[in-house]
């Protein structure tokens, strides 16, 4: 590797650092100063900022890209993130649904679950 | 008999992929903890709720510390790769120091919460919180330990091919932990106030 | 003083020693058996051999053999459990008593399920993968040989912990997946559930590491010229399996850890009070549990793909569709988990979605079955023991698959859920799919590992006995399940059920005979090993690379790394008479040195698990320290390779071929 590479990488780290810092601060200010009135929009904005920061860090710090050297890693993390979303969103959906249908007191829950268990799930 | 250069390169390629795959499994590990936290978050069971408990400014301080340490870690590897031993080692030390400060803040926060009577035994929400954040803290602890060993290794043996192989893996780990923290910062700390 | 004693012995006490005769017998027999083996080793002065050749080995083939030995031992214990369970249900009608009380019966059921899935099926799967994965892709070893040894010793450590529960403390009675709140502190304060948690946790982390290892091996260690689409189907199935392992096992790690925290640290993840949610546990454990089913069965599918093509003397029908089917299963296996708890209370939308996905996943599986049948069609089929296992598989697994699709319909599932119908279904797929597949694999590749074939006739006998016993044991359970017999049933009042339970019991005895035939097959073949010797290295006229080297395969697998031009490269090379190597083809190679790291990590992890189970906090610290220090030392080890020179290789290789 040449010194041009060193310079290029240095710049990449600096860009990554400053933009990550900026994004974190924006997220912080959105929340502390209540910049967005609708909570749905706030959640969307926060998630968007986090995902932007994820991408910036992946590119600038972990040097992911579509070139030959890093393509395998990019594909694997993309696939993992998709499967992660499947698992997390699926779990939240299932649990939400159970909550909505089954809201019960702790005692009732214990009794219900033990009864199910006796039958053997 | 020393191992040939090709063998080291070949081993590095495998180790890089293998370690990357380990990080992928770690994504799923953290995702399970995030899902648990999100499901249990409303269940405060008479304890304090997320917005009463968390201080976003404190979390921002932690975020900045960890981000800085991620940055210096990248620079450390860069300098070591270009064979600047002393700056590289100093930056590595700074990285670990910042990581240590982050860990200290996290511990301090935990102590504060427990002091206020809000421990992991209080509610499902707090169990989820402690499990998620402490798992991240455990990873940071392991990272610091690993970094110290690497520091000592390079200090003694110089920047060998084997040393670089390990430092690169370490930096993957460290950057990865910062990325996980972004989501803890966003979903746990900032998400509490939405 | 008493504080000090509590610190020293945690919560151990005499009340945890076994009390009923069956357990006392086992608790005395097991240590005696181990002592007996140790005495034999000492008598024959084999300790050094054991240490150098087995304990510290990093050779995947030997690690595979160790996996299989452990798995078969556990199969015998789990099988004995099954015999006792069916003995109980055969007699315990009305007021009649079986050998167990209700709690002990639940413990035996739990032990049977846990052992069979985690230590038998997983052990056999990992054993076969270790045996032949590097050989099939033309590699010398796994990508991370020492990590491979760590995986095995974590598996072994979990196994030891699991079995130790029998001697001291008793096992979990919470079923093989340990649902809270029954496994929570309130209902289960003793150490049984903790044994269950930590033995699975340790073995599970070993499996996770194996997944990383197998995947890297396939990506990085393939022979030159072997593109992914020229790779045999068995490595393909392992590739998909390792993706499933990497995505699913972390969920298990988290779930078990959280349940452990509930029990030791007083957290409220899965308690019913203080804001916990037991249903979350069931969601999480099945998000792991369903992919786990495919982790077990896909390698068996891979084995059948090799076996059917080899003994039909035809190339595999529909290679591409096989690969696509595997990839489809990889994705769909992650979006069906909720079908394990249709009845827990989710709404119709959720149940309908997961029900449809479950039905969809049967399609790629069906594609694979048809591909194997079309491979046989017009082939010149050699009806050897592996083909007998395959035929048994087709019948049994298809019944299991069809009943599975039945239960994918939520409305029907409400009727048969938690009944013996379900029990019969999953035994159909696990025994018919996994166990038959891996027995076929063991028979098929045995000569490559040990240098002599297994006796064919006894193998066929074993397959027939297993198949007949299987039908006798499980078809009655379908009927009983439809009649309303719930699973884990230790006694019942309806005398009309008894004949069916007796038939089922007889079936288990026939399966036990099949198992005995299998052991006889191995014993007889060892005895007659000179007659059954494999001189050529290619006893079945095989298609893939492993048959190009001598039998038993040398520890470096390939003296010369083969260059691959097409699918089933070895088969086409034989047709072209292009199998000779020149002396100049040999080059120096590097091999990993033996290492005790795996054993030490396994011992440390086992000690840590034991410490948590019994609250021996003073032991936990040094145990974890041992693991950490050993791993740090290993990661800093620059000198873990040994060179084998080209001349050495040439001589050894030619000796092997001539002999």
The whole-number pLDDT of residue C627 equals: 96
**CB-nearest partner of A95 from B39, B82, B175:** B39
Q: Cα(C141)–Cα(C555) distance, rounded to whole angstroms?
A: 9
Q: Cα(C584)–Cα(C587) distance, rounded to whole angstroms?
A: 8
The whole-number pLDDT of residue B3 equals: 60
ipTM over 0.90: yes
List subunits contacting chain A, requiring 3 or more Cβ pairs under 8 Å: B, C
* B165 pLDDT above the threshold of 50: yes
Average pLDDT taken over every residue of chain C: 92
Average pLDDT taken over every residue of chain A: 88
* C659 pLDDT above the threshold of 90: no
Share of chain C above pLDDT 70, in %: 99
Q: How does residue B2 score in pLDDT terms, banded at 50, 70 and 90?
A: low
Could you tell me if C477 and C507 are in contact, meaning their C-beta atoms sit under 8 angstroms apart? no
Most confidently modeled range among C368-382, C566-580, C630-644: C368-382
Q: Which of A20, A45, A52, A63 to mutate to test the interface with B (most CBs of B within 10 A)?
A: A20
Which of A65-69, C47-51, C506-510, C556-560 is predicted with the least confidence, judged by mean pLDDT? Answer: A65-69
**CB-nearest partner of A95 from C273, C283, C334:** C283
* C210 pLDDT above the threshold of 70: yes
- CA of B47, closest CA in chain C: separation in Å? 9
Query: Of C513, C430, C508, which Cα lies nearest the Cα of C475?
Result: C508
Indicate the fold that domain B3-193 takes in CATH. Answer: 1.20.120
Share of chain B above pLDDT 90, in %: 80
| Chain C residues within an 8 Å CB radius of A109 | 181, 272, 278
**C144 with B26: Cβ contact below 8 A:** no
- CA of B64, closest CA in chain A: separation in Å? 7
Q: Looking at chain B from residue 48 to 87, which residues have their Cβ under 8 Å from any Cβ of chain C?
A: none
**C182 with A106: Cβ contact below 8 A:** no
Phi, psi of C486 (to 5 degrees): -80, 165
- Which residue range is the domain that position A106 belongs to? 66-121
| Chain C residues within an 8 Å CB radius of A90 | 287, 335, 337-338
* C658 pLDDT above the threshold of 60: no
Q: How does residue C331 score in pLDDT terms, banded at 50, 70 and 90?
A: very high
Q: How does residue A118 score in pLDDT terms, banded at 50, 70 and 90?
A: low
Q: Cα(A91)–Cα(B49) distance, rounded to whole angstroms?
A: 23
Q: How does residue C191 score in pLDDT terms, banded at 50, 70 and 90?
A: very high
What is the average pLDDT across A15-43? 93
Which of C192-206, C281-295, C339-353 is predicted with the least confidence, judged by mean pLDDT? Answer: C339-353
| Chain C residues within an 8 Å CB radius of A116 | 343-344
Share of chain C above pLDDT 90, in %: 73
Residue B49's contacts (CB-CB under 8 Å, 6 or more residues apart) are: B125, B192
Bridge-based pairing of strands C641-644 and C589-592 is antiparallel
Q: Cα(C209)–Cα(C200) distance, rounded to whole angstroms?
A: 14
What is the average pLDDT across A35-60? 93
Could you tell me if C543 and C135 are in contact, meaning their C-beta atoms sit under 8 angstroms apart? no
**C335 with A86: Cβ contact below 8 A:** yes
Q: What is the pLDDT of residues B78-126, one digit of tens each?
A: 999 999 999 999 999 999 999 999 999 999 999 999 999 999 999 999 9
Q: Are residues A44 and A58 in the same domain?
A: yes
The whole-number pLDDT of residue C499 equals: 95
Supply the DSSP string of B17-51, one letter for each residue: HHHHHHHHHHHHHHHHHHHHHHHHTT--TTS--HH
**B56 with A32: Cβ contact below 8 A:** yes
Q: Are residues A56 and A70 in the same domain?
A: no
The whole-number pLDDT of residue C526 equals: 95
Which of B8-12, B143-147, C268-272, C365-369 is predicted with the least confidence, judged by mean pLDDT? Answer: B8-12
What distance lies between CA C542 and its chain's CA centroid? 26
The whole-number pLDDT of residue A1 equals: 65
**A61 with B175: Cβ contact below 8 A:** yes
Q: Are residues A11 and A29 in the same domain?
A: yes
Q: How does residue C19 score in pLDDT terms, banded at 50, 70 and 90?
A: confident
The whole-number pLDDT of residue C172 equals: 87
Name the residue ranges covered by the structural domains of chain B.
3-193
**CB-nearest partner of C247 from A72, A83, A109:** A83
What is the average pLDDT across C561-577? 90
**CB-nearest partner of A114 from C177, C182, C488:** C182
**B24 with C274: Cβ contact below 8 A:** no
* A6 pLDDT above the threshold of 90: no
Q: Are residues A120 and A81 in the same domain?
A: yes
Share of chain A above pLDDT 70, in %: 93
Q: Are residues A84 and A112 in the same domain?
A: yes
For C417-532, where are the alpha helices, taking DSSP H only? 420-429, 436-450, 456-482, 498-527
Q: Are residues A8 and A53 in the same domain?
A: yes
Q: Which of C216, C329, C346 to mutate to test the interface with A (most CBs of A within 10 A)?
A: C346
What is the average pLDDT across C440-462? 96
DSSP 8-state assignment for residue C140:
S
Q: How many structural domains compose chain A? A: 2
**CB-nearest partner of C215 from B7, B21, B131:** B21
Q: Are residues A8 and A58 in the same domain?
A: yes
Q: Cα(C218)–Cα(C135) distance, rounded to whole angstroms?
A: 11
Q: Cα(C368)–Cα(C630) distance, rounded to whole angstroms?
A: 44
The whole-number pLDDT of residue B1 equals: 41
**B60 with A10: Cβ contact below 8 A:** no
Q: Please state whether the peptide bond connecting residue C86 to the residue before it is cis, i.e. omega within 30 degrees of 0.
A: no
What is the average pLDDT across C345-352? 90
| Chain B residues within an 8 Å CB radius of C248 | 28
Q: Are residues A55 and A73 in the same domain?
A: no
Q: Which residues of B117-151 are buried (b: 16+ CB within 10 A; e: fewer)?
A: ebbbbbbbbbbbbbbbbbbbbebbeebbebbebbb
Q: Are residues A3 and A38 in the same domain?
A: yes
Q: How does residue C591 score in pLDDT terms, banded at 50, 70 and 90?
A: confident
Q: What is the pLDDT of residues A57-112, one digit of tens each?
A: 999 999 998 888 888 899 999 999 999 999 999 999 999 888 877 767 777 888 88
Q: Cα(C645)–Cα(C653) distance, rounded to whole angstroms?
A: 12
| Chain A residues within an 8 Å CB radius of C174 | 117
Could you tell me if C188 and C172 are in contact, meaning their C-beta atoms sit under 8 angstroms apart? yes
Q: What is the pLDDT of residues C147-175, one digit of tens each?
A: 999 999 999 999 999 999 988 888 888 88
Q: Cα(C119)–Cα(C133) distance, rounded to whole angstroms?
A: 20
Q: Are residues A16 and A73 in the same domain?
A: no
Report the C-alpha dihedral over residues B145, B149, B151, B154, rounded to 10 degrees.
-160
* C186 pLDDT above the threshold of 90: no
What is the average pLDDT across C405-411? 93
- CA of A117, closest CA in chain B: separation in Å? 22
**B127 with C216: Cβ contact below 8 A:** no
- CA of B72, closest CA in chain A: separation in Å? 9
Q: Are residues A2 and A53 in the same domain?
A: yes
Q: Cα(C189)–Cα(C489) distance, rounded to whole angstroms?
A: 23
**A95 with C344: Cβ contact below 8 A:** no
Pick A95 or C644 by higher pLDDT.
Answer: A95
Could you tell me if C217 and C318 are in contact, meaning their C-beta atoms sit under 8 angstroms apart? no
Q: Are residues A40 and A57 in the same domain?
A: yes
What is the average pLDDT across C371-378? 95
* C8 pLDDT above the threshold of 70: yes
**CB-nearest partner of B38 from A13, A28, A92:** A92
| Cα nearest neighbour of A96 on chain C | C346
Query: Of B2, B6, B19, B22, which Cα lies nearest the Cα of B167?
Result: B19
Q: Cα(C131)–Cα(C238) distance, rounded to whole angstroms?
A: 12
CA distance readout (Å), C589 to A59, A96, B40, C238, C642 = 37, 57, 55, 26, 8
């Amino acid at each position: 590797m040449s010194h041009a590479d060193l310079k290029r990488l240095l710049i990449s780290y600096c860009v990554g650092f400053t933009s990550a810092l900026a994004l974190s601060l924006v997220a912080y200010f959105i929340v502390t100063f209540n910049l967005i009135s609708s909570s749905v929009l706030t959640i969307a904005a926060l998630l968007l900022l986090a995902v932007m920061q994820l991408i910036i860090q992946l590119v600038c710090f972990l040097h992911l890209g579509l070139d030959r050297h890093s393509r395998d890693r990019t594909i694997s993390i993309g696939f993992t993130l998709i499967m992660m979303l499947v698992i997390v969103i699926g779990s939240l959906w299932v649990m939400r649904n159970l909550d909505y249908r089954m809201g019960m007191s702790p005692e009732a829950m214990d009794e219900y679950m033990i009864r199910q268990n006796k039958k053997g799930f | 008999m020393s191992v040939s250069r090709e063998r080291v390169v070949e081993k590095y390629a495998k180790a890089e992929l293998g370690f990357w795959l380990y990080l992928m499994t770690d994504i799923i590990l953290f995702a399970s903890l995030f899902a648990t936290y999100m499901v249990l978050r409303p269940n405060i069971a008479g304890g304090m709720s997320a917005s009463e408990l968390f201080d976003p400014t404190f979390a921002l301080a932690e975020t900045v510390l960890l981000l800085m340490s991620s940055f210096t870690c990248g620079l450390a590897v860069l300098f070591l790769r270009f064979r600047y031993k002393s700056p590289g080692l100093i930056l590595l030390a700074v990285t670990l120091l910042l990581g240590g400060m982050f860990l200290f803040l996290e511990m301090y926060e935990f102590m504060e919460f427990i002091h206020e009577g809000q421990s992991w035994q209080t509610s499902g929400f707090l169990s989820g919180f402690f499990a998620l954040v402490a798992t991240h803290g455990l990873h940071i602890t392991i990272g610091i330990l690993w970094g110290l060993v690497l520091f000592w290794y390079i200090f003694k043996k110089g920047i060998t091919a084997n040393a670089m192989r390990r430092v690169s893996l370490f930096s993957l780990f460290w950057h990865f932990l910062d990325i996980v923290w972004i989501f803890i910062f966003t979903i746990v700390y900032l998400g509490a106030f939405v | 003083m008493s504080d000090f004693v509590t610190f020293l012995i945690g919560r151990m006490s005499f009340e945890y020693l076994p009390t009923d005769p069956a357990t006392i017998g086992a608790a005395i027999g097991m240590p005696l058996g181990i002592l007996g083996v140790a005495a034999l080793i000492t008598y024959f002065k084999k300790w050094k051999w054991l240490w150098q050749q087995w304990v510290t080995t990093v050779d995947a083939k030997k690690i595979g053999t160790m996996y299989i030995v452990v798995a078969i031992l556990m199969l015998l214990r789990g099988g004995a459990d099954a015999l006792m369970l069916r003995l109980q249900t055969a007699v315990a009608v009305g007021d009649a008593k079986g050998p167990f009380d209700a709690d002990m019966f639940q413990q035996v059921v739990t032990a049977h399920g846990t052992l069979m899935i985690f230590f038998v099926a997983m052990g056999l799967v990992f054993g076969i993968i270790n045996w032949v994965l590097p050989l099939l892709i033309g590699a010398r070893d796994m990508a991370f040989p020492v990590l491979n040894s760590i995986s095995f010793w974590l598996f072994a450590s979990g196994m030891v912990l699991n079995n130790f529960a029998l001697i001291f403390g008793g096992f979990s009675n919470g079923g093989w997946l340990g649902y809270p709140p029954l496994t929570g502190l309130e209902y289960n304060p003793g150490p049984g559930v903790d044994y269950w948690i930590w033995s699975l946790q340790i073995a599970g982390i070993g499996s996770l590491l194996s997944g990383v290892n197998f995947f890297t091996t396939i990506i990085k260690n393939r022979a030159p010229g072997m593109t992914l689409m020229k790779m045999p189907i068995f490595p393909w199935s392992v590739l998909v399996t390792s993706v499933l392992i990497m995505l699913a096992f972390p969920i298990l790690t988290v779930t078990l850890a959280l349940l452990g925290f509930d029990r030791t640290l007083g957290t409220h993840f899965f308690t019913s009070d203080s804001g916990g949610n037991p249903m979350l546990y069931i969601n999480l454990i099945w998000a792991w549990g369903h992919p786990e089913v495919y982790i077990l069965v896909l390698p068996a599918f891979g084995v059948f793909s090799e076996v059917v093509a080899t003994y039909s003397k035809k190339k595999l029908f529909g290679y591409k569709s096989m690969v696509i089917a595997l990839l489809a299963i990889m994705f769909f296996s992650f979006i069906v988990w909720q079908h394990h708890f249709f009845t827990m209370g989710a709404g119709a939308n959720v149940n309908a979605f997961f029900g449809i996905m479950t039905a969809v996943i049967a399609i790629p599986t069906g594609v694979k079955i048809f591909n194997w049948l079309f491979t046989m069609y017009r082939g010149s089929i050699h009806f050897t023991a592996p083909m007998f296992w395959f035929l048994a598989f087709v019948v049994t697994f298809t019944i299991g698959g069809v009943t599975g699709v039945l239960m994918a319909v939520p409305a029907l599932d409400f009727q048969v859920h938690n009944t013996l119908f379900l029990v019969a279904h999953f035994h159909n797929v696990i025994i018919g799919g996994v166990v038959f597949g891996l027995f076929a694999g063991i028979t098929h590749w045995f000569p490559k590992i040990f240098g002599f074939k297994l006796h064919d006739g006894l193998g066929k006998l074993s397959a027939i006995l297993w198949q007949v016993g299987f039908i006798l044991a499980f078809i009655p359970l379908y009927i009983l399940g439809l009649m309303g017999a719930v699973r884990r049933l230790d006694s019942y009042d309806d005398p009309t059920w008894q004949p069916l339970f007796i038939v089922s019991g007889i079936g288990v005895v026939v399966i036990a005979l099949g198992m005995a035939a299998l052991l006889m097959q191995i014993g007889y073949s060892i005895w007659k090993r000179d007659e059954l010797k494999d001189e050529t290295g290619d006893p079945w006229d095989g298609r893939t690379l492993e048959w190009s080297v001598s039998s038993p395969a040398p520890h470096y697998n390939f003296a010369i790394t083969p260059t691959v031009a097409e699918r089933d490269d070895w088969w086409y090379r034989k047709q072209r008479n292009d199998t000779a190597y020149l002396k100049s083809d040999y080059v120096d190679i590097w091999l990993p040195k033996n290492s005790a790291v795996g054993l030490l990590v396994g011992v440390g992890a086992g000690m840590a698990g034991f410490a948590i189970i019994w609250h021996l906090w003073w032991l936990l610290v040094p145990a974890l320290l041992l693991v950490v220090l050993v791993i740090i030392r290993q990661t800093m080890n620059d000198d873990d390779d040994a060179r084998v020179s080209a001349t050495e290789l040439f001589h050894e290789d030619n000796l092997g071929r001539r002999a």
